[in-house]
Structure 1
Amino acid sequence: MTIGAKSAALQRRLKIADWIRQHGQMRVDELSAALMVSEVTIRSDLTYLEEQGLIVRSFGKAIAAKTPTPRDRPAGISLTKALIVPMLRRAQGLIGADQTVLIGPGVLATQIIPWLADIPGIAVLLTSVEAIALARTCLDARIYCLGGEIGAETGSFDGSTALRGLDHYPLGWAVLDADALSADAALLLASKSAERLSEAAVRRAGRSIALVGNPALSLERRAAQIALSAVTDVILPGPPSNRARDILLGAGFRPIESELGGEAHFSSHARSVARQLHG
């Protein structure tokens, strides 16, 4: 399948998922007629969406899955496509050709996969089972899986085997998913397994992007987190609050201007390079 065909299939599947979510359920023949493709194609699309946990199939129809809200995500913002796309586009623009990119566990990190298709020589290292089907659909590239134990709750690779596996890959980039920035200058993560993997990945990668789901500062203390200073780039879905901005600046990050959308990008990469040069 060519990259163009993969992109068309992905767009069709996203449209199907949106329709089913809006209507609660739809029949195979309805989707076939609406999208002007065969029922065989629709069934293949539904198989993919079911594997992703987005729908449930039942007797010739597809029903929207009842997926829970991401655990402990701070209130105050709804991550719509209009907010997510500029974040993913900004992250894509940072990653250069011929790089190996670790895709951390989490919805935001996984969604960058289709955006990597146009980067020549790219290779991806996947850390969750859910990302495998999406990568195979969207990328004509080298795809690696970290391996190790599969976490029962998160579906991501975990344990000492997974962490040791990072040593086998020359990571150019790590793309991580964080719920929010805390008042303690930490990035709040979804689970302890995500914390262990993220800490190991940022030590191995040349640069690391944290896609943060909420621009508001979180006042909670959470067991799963990594230090803000561990990453080189932070991308938020909108301008941070004044207090969050102060924390970013205090940690050595500087704002990077953008004309792409409403996302906010802060980077400490220049600081990291200067430290390396002056040893």
Structure 2
Amino acid sequence: MFTLERREKIYDYILQNKNVTVLELSKKLDVSEVTIRKDLSFLESQQLIDRTFGGAIIKSKIIKEKSYFEKEKSMINEKYLIGKKASEFVKSNSTIILDAGTTIMEMAKCIKHIESLRVITNNLKIALFLSDFTNIEVTLLGGKVSMKSKQCTGVETCKIVEKYNVDASFLGCDAFDINNGFMTTSIEKMYLKRSFIKISEKTFLLTSSDKYEKKSMVKVQDFSKLTGIIVDKQSTKLIEDFNKFNIDNCVFV
């Protein structure tokens, strides 16, 4: 049996049984446990399965939250282009909300020159970065601190948000698609993003194309609730789908 054929059989078997052991696969395919482990490592590298102690399980389609530092390493140039484009929608003497996320951080770097700007954010790194510029007044929203995502969330954060009215909010997401709009990884983050939308005259979603057609735990809102979506043009399918479904509030960069 060729390697490719064996790996296809392994993957099909895991799909059917949800979870398997190395010993089980070794006996079924009559190959060594060392070979099976190599096959499972390959399937994991293709993001098809998750390794477990002594075996493997089918990979969930629902993505888990990555750390801020993991996110910083991906789609670097695309995030810069998205952030730069988003900065064009920010005017002097305005009040804006900057959500958490590495793409929003790129936007923050592009607005540091804007005069008489008031920025409200739940992102610790953005607040610290913008606080160095005397032309920008920064308000950091308090609440429960997530060191993994470098942000504040929770009921208290939402209560603070409700006191404000802002010109525009710029939101991030963990996943998005045609049917579900944009999504995030927790109920707390979902409520906070909805609170941002509620108090904003305009709302923009900033997201990289690698999150398209992924699934996350909680839906935030449909695209129709947004003023605009700013995304990179690296995915041909994303562009084709948005054109097909007449999503006309999207800007590709």
Secondary structure of 2:217's aligned partner: coil
Q: Which residue of 1 aligns with 2:104?
A: 109
State whether structure 2 residue 218 is matched by structure 1 residue 224: yes
Q: CA deviation at 1:236?
A: 0.8
- Distance in 1 (alpha carbons) for counterparts of 2:180 and 2:243: 8
Is the CA contact 1:188–1:222 (under 8 Å) kept in the aligned structure 2?
A: yes
> Which protein shows a greater Rg?
2
Which residue does the alignment assign to 1:201? 196
Distance 1:211 1:197, change over 3 A: same
Q: Indicate the residue corresponding to 1:69 in structure 2.
A: 70
What letter matches 2:138 in structure 1? I
Name the SS of the counterpart of 1:137 in structure 2. Answer: coil
Contact 2:80 2:103 in 1 (8 A): no
Query: Deviation of residue 137 (structure 1)?
Result: 2.7
User: Which residue of 110, 120, 123 corresponds with 2:118?
Assistant: 123
* SS of 1:86 mapped into structure 2: helix
Q: What does residue 56 of structure 1 align with? A: none
Of all paired residues, the percent bearing the same amino acid is 11
Distance 1:192 1:107, change over 3 A: farther
> CA separation in 2, counterparts of 1:167 and 1:191?
20
Asked whether the 8 Å contact 2:80–2:107 carries over to 1, the reply is: no
| Deviation sequence 1:81-107 (CA, Å, 0-9, x none) | 3x2332122111112222111110111
Distance 2:116 2:244 in 1: 34
Output aligned runs, 1:80-229, within 5 Å.
80-81=76-77, 83-138=78-133, 140-151=135-146, 153-214=148-209, 217-218=212-213, 220-227=214-221, 228-229=223-224
How far apart, in 2, do the equivalents of 1:149 and 1:254 lie? 33
Q: Which residue of 1 aligns with 2:75?
A: 79
**Aligned equivalent of 1:246:** 241
Query: TM-score, length-normalised on structure 1?
Result: 0.57
Aligned to 2:57: none
Structure 1: runs of 5 or more not aligned? 1-65, 257-263, 266-279
**Aligned pair in 2 of structure 1 residues 225, 90: CA closer, same or farther (>3 Å)?**
same
Q: Which runs of 5+ in 2 are unaligned?
A: 1-66
- Alpha carbons of 1:102 and 1:116: their partners in 2 closer, same or farther (altered >3 Å)? same
Aligned 8 A contact 1:181 1:244 in 2: no
- How many residue pairs align between the two structures? 186
Summarize the Cα distance change of 1:255–1:150 in structure 2 as closer, same or farther, 3 Å threshold: closer
- The amino acid of 2:113's aligned partner reads D
CA distance in 2, matches of 1:248, 1:224: 25
Query: Could you say what the CA RMSD is over the residues aligned between the two structures, in angstroms?
Result: 2.9
TM-score normalized by the length of structure 2: 0.63
SS at 1:119 equivalent: coil
Structure 2: how far apart are the matches of 1:204 and 1:248? 30
Deviation track 1:100-149 (CA, whole Å, cap 9, x = no partner) reads 11110111112211211222221000102222221123453111111122
Q: How much does 1:247 deviate?
A: 4.2
Distance 1:149 1:206, change over 3 A: same
Give the whole-Å Cα distance in 1 for the aligned partners of 2:142 and 2:243: 34
Match of 2:56 in 1: none
